[in-house]
Amino acid sequence: MMKTSYDPGTDSLYIEVRPLPSKRTVEIEPDVMVDYGADGEPVGYDIQHASAKTDLIGRLILMPMAAE
């Protein structure tokens, strides 16, 4: 189950897609990091300046639903 955590003080959003530890983090675009698990699959997304990235956030949230 996906979990989200938003910090209004820093305008940062974390979307956890799998409850596993991160083994590496990659910046896929400015202010957007992807955390990958040991299996190489994403475990979470860290989005800075989240209020300016609502289109990206919508796609990330809908992506797991489309896979079900």
Distance, in Å, from the CA atom of 10 to the CA atom of 26, rounded to the nearest integer, reads 20
pLDDT for 18: 94
Integer distance in angstroms from the first to the last C-alpha of the chain?
12
pLDDT for 2: 86
What's the predicted TM-score (pTM) here?
0.84
Please list the residues that pair with 47 across neighbouring strands.
Answer: 13, 32
Please give the helix or strand (H or E) that residue 29 lies within, else none: strand 24-29
pLDDT for 64: 57
Q: 3-state DSSP call for residue 31?
A: coil
pLDDT (tens digit per residue) in 22-65: 999 999 999 999 999 999 999 999 999 999 998 888 888 776 54
Boundaries of domain holding 56: 3-67
pLDDT for 43: 96
Q: pLDDT band at residue 13, thresholds of 50, 70 and 90?
A: very high
Count of domains for the chain = 1
